[in-house]
Amino acid sequence: MGRKRLDKALPLIIILPLILATAGCGSTPPPQPSGKPVAGTEGVFKLGILGPFSGPSASTGDEFRGAATMAFEAVNWQIGEYEIEPVWIDSQSDPDAAVEAYEQAIVEDGIQAAILNWHSSVAVACMDVAAEYEIPHIFPYGATEAVNEQFHADPDHYGYWMNKGWPVSAKLTKAYVQAVEDAIAQGLWTPDEKTLAICAENTHWGRGFGAAIKGELEAEGWTTVAEEYCRLDEADFYPTLNRLKAQDVALVATTHTAMPAIAAFINQADEIGLESLIIADGLGWGGEWYEMTGPSSNYIIDQIPSWATDEGQAFAEAFEEQWGVAPSPSAAGLAYDGTNMFIQVAQHALEEHGELTSDTVYSWAKENLQTGAWSYTDGIVMDEYKYTPETLPDPVVGKGYYMFPVRQYFDGEGEIIYPPEWAEQELQPKP
């Protein structure tokens, strides 16, 4: 494995003997600092699990922790003769904090691979660290196009950010656009004017979503009359929402990765009587979304998978029983699938190479996962997670692969309105 920061350790190596020479007989010397990763203990494989375990998206981090724990408990935290030792890496929903924690997990804790991640901005920052230390990272979320651009700029270097758990926004927002256009064509919704407002978090994710859906809707004749981006922890949307109400905007598209923010947006929109049809991408990402919004979420449109299989429903029930909170398919569900994907990748790497290391995980995943020769088909959210050289680092998107149906919420339930072959009801405009 290449480790490129050994030069940082040299001053410490020189100083350390002086420290030890001055220590009294029988005293315990201080622990030796190191600028290189800690050597792995024989029979132990250290795995970094990256998530927002504190900060504005801590509830998502809780779902990550619960899902990953359940996946590893099912194999007794064991892959072959190797004990899996988790290292929980707290991104705090902040790229700088995430980089510091990620590098510490490598250099001080000695992780040999990593899984998961929530925020796009964190992904952009941390993929540099994974590449520098050659740490294979399996199934990180972080949908932004910036990750794809960085990946393709130097696939050999950035290929350690191996396969995203969420494709770029443009591959999913098309479903929103088609759902809205179909409803207009069928006479289900007749807006006076096709006016659009974008209101999203000021992050790679928020701006990527805004750019994607704005471009696709404008191509269908919509006019963007407002485009605003806010802090990740924004709580006061009244000024923005009152402006949109005064403009009588027909359609509002918003997304926030922090549950308190998106819940506040929905509640305040209802409170002031905003009549716009609202696309709130990610409202259902947290299992507690309805507890936070109640009937204010009625008529909201979202794109969320579901517990469509017996296995998924059993997981959701077990998760709630073990952790005391209802899980979201997008957070806990995908995290569970991503963790189990890693387990299978590691099992294959061990079988083929006879040992479980950073190198063997990376080599097997590069030769099989990234080429499409192998795909993960035992998931509880998607039928098949498949990656090909043409889609990397994104998964294949489409029916039978990675796909979210468009739903409209009523009394805490999301009814599918698109695609037509899955539809449970038609789109209903706000009365």
Residue pLDDT, tens place only, 10-47:
333 333 333 333 333 333 333 333 333 444 467 999 99
What's the CA angle centered on 137, arms 280 and 205, to 5 degrees?
A: 25
Those residues of the chain that have pLDDT short of 70 are 1-41
What's the CA angle centered on 111, arms 369 and 364, to 5 degrees?
A: 20
Write the CATH number of the domain with boundaries 170-286+288-306+405-422: 3.40.50.2300
DSSP 174: H
What pLDDT score was predicted for residue 287? Answer: 85
Write the CATH number of the domain with boundaries 44-168+327-369: 3.40.50.2300
What pLDDT score was predicted for residue 431? Answer: 86
* Burial degree of 181 (CB within 10 A; 0-12, 13-18, 19+): middle
Predicted model pTM: 0.85
Q: Where are the domains of the chain?
A: 44-168+327-369, 170-286+288-306+405-422
Are 44-168+327-369 and 170-286+288-306+405-422 in the same CATH fold?
yes
pLDDT in tens, 305-319: 889 889 999 999 999
* Burial degree of 267 (CB within 10 A; 0-12, 13-18, 19+): middle
How are beta strands 44-51 and 82-90 bridged, if at all?
parallel
What pLDDT score was predicted for residue 230? Answer: 96
> What Cα–Cα distance (Å) separates residue 144 from each residue in 57, 166, 284, 371?
18, 9, 19, 22
What pLDDT score was predicted for residue 216? Answer: 97
What pLDDT score was predicted for residue 286? Answer: 87
How are beta strands 223-230 and 251-255 bridged, if at all?
unpaired
What pLDDT score was predicted for residue 399? Answer: 87
Alpha helices in 38-94 (DSSP H): 58-73
On the CB side of 18, CA atoms within 13 Å amount to 5
Query: Which tokens hold the place of 90?
Result: 């707290």
Residues 216 and 13: their CA atoms lie apart, in Å, by: 57
Query: At 50, which amino acid appears?
Result: L
**What Rg, from alpha-carbon coordinates, does the chain have?**
23
What pLDDT score was predicted for residue 41? Answer: 60
What pLDDT score was predicted for residue 327? Answer: 96
